[in-house]
């Protein structure tokens, strides 16, 4: 039966009211269920390597099986399912309780070099370059938020994220993504954001400063990632957990296997956040793609990346979480 006939049979006329937003998918509902089931099996049987003792203790208190000598955490399915349910958004919307929320766009982040627009010379970026990038994003109506375009290299490494956050906040009225790598940096950047937003409660509501972490593929949560997850949860701030699995390198060569590894990494971070503070908002992130077999680099702008991105958005929709898809 055609889609038109299905709508007619269901009592809807062509051109009548429909769900908001474009829908596109590469996975069927049963495919998504299979990826979810395989993810639960991986988390329960294989587990995730967790570097920091504090995170291990939180997982242990939350009912996970811990091998402290190997720093290995195995997550029971019921713990994972409960964590997903605790931060899921309104089932009528796309996540975070915002029904029908439209797509938003941000620049890509963490460039390691900067092409000086005045001299054309490639060099390491500085704090003033962060300010220039943020000012440019602020002027572009098609960009909704500022991602940390470059990390300043003319300041101490331990405080680079703080300097970058400050420079961006002074140059844009849009949301600022902060690339903090420690609990201390999260606290300081949150204080900067609260000064702009008008307090911590307003910062939580406006999300004028946001945070994100990347697990290490395959199936590892390093110390910097868990510090940021834990501190964001304690402060009640949204955190993006973004896997960068690479098919053919740090993940299986096939789409299904790569999605399972990706999903396991994101959900392990989500569980940690919910064990610290149930209900704290989480954004489901992806910069997962395939490996370029000629160079060993991540292949972006490719059909494989597009397929993975669409599939990831479908998984996030299943969990009723907002999603961030990078690298298109």
pLDDT in tens, 264-314: 999 999 999 999 999 999 999 999 999 998 898 888 888 889 999 999 999
In this structure, are residues 264 and 249 in contact, taking their beta carbons and an 8 Å threshold?
A: no
pLDDT in tens, 187-204: 999 999 999 999 999 999
Q: How confident is the model at residue 22 (pLDDT cuts 50, 70, 90)?
A: low
pLDDT in tens, 220-243: 999 999 999 999 999 999 999 999
Which pLDDT value is given to residue 302?
A: 87
pLDDT in tens, 87-125: 987 554 444 444 445 788 999 888 889 999 999 999 999
Residue 97, helix vs strand vs coil: coil
DSSP string over 230-280: HHHHHHT--EEEEE--EETTTB-SSHHHHHHHHHHHHHHHHHHHHHHSTT-
Which pLDDT value is given to residue 101?
A: 55
Question: For residues 26 and 217, what is the distance between their CA atoms, to the nearest angstrom?
Answer: 23
pLDDT in tens, 209-225: 999 999 999 999 999 99
Nearest alpha-carbon partner for 131 in 102, 105, 103, 154: 154
Question: For residues 306 and 308, what is the distance between their CA atoms, to the nearest angstrom?
Answer: 5
For the chain, what percent of residues have pLDDT higher than 70?
89
Average pLDDT, the chain: 89
Q: What domains lie within the chain, and their CATH numbers? A: 27-103+209-325 (3.20.20.480)
In this structure, are residues 257 and 249 in contact, taking their beta carbons and an 8 Å threshold?
A: no
Relative orientation angle of helices 255-276 and 303-318, to the nearest 10 degrees: 40
Which pLDDT value is given to residue 92?
A: 45
Can you say whether the dihedral through the CA atoms of 145, 143, 303, 34 is positive or negative?
A: positive
Which pLDDT value is given to residue 328?
A: 58
For the segment 73-83, the average pLDDT, to the nearest whole number, is 98
Token pair, residue 124, equals: 């390491």
Total Cβ atoms within 10 A of residue 86: 17
Which pLDDT value is given to residue 326?
A: 81
């Amino acid at each position: 039966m055609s889609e038109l006939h299905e709508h007619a049979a269901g009592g809807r006329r062509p051109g009548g009211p429909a769900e908001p937003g474009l829908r596109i998918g590469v996975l069927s509902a049963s495919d998504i269920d299979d990826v979810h089931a395989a993810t639960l099996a991986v988390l329960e049987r294989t587990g995730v390597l967790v570097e920091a003792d504090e995170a291990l203790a939180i997982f242990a208190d939350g009912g996970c099986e811990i091998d402290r000598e190997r720093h290995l955490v195995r997550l029971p399915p019921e713990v994972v399912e409960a964590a997903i349910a605790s931060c899921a958004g309104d089932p009528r919307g796309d996540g975070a309780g915002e029904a029908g929320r439209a797509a938003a766009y941000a620049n890509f982040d963490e460039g390691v070099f900067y092409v000086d627009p005045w001299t054309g010379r490639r060099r390491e970026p500085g704090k003033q370059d962060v300010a220039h990038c943020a000012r440019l994003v602020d002027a572009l109506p098609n960009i909704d938020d500022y991602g940390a375009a470059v990390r300043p290299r003319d300041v101490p490494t331990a405080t680079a994220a703080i300097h970058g956050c400050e420079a961006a906040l002074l140059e844009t009225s849009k949301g600022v993504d902060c690339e903090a790598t420690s609990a201390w940096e999260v606290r300081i950047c949150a204080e900067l954001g609260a000064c702009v937003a008008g307090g911590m409660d307003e910062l939580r509501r406006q999300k004028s400063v946001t945070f994100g972490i990347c697990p290490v593929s395959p199936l590892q949560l390093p110390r910097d990632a868990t510090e940021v997850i834990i501190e964001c949860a304690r402060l009640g701030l949204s955190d993006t957990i973004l896997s960068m699995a690479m098919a053919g390198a740090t993940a299986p060569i096939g789409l299904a296997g790569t999605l399972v590894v990706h999903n396991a990494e994101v959900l392990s971070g989500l569980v940690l956040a919910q064990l610290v503070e149930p209900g704290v908002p989480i954004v489901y992130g992806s910069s997962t793609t395939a490996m370029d077999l000629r160079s060993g680099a991540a292949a972006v702008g490719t059909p494989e990346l597009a397929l993975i991105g669409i599939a990831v958005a479908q998984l996030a929709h299943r969990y009723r979480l907002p999603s961030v898809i990078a690298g298109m």
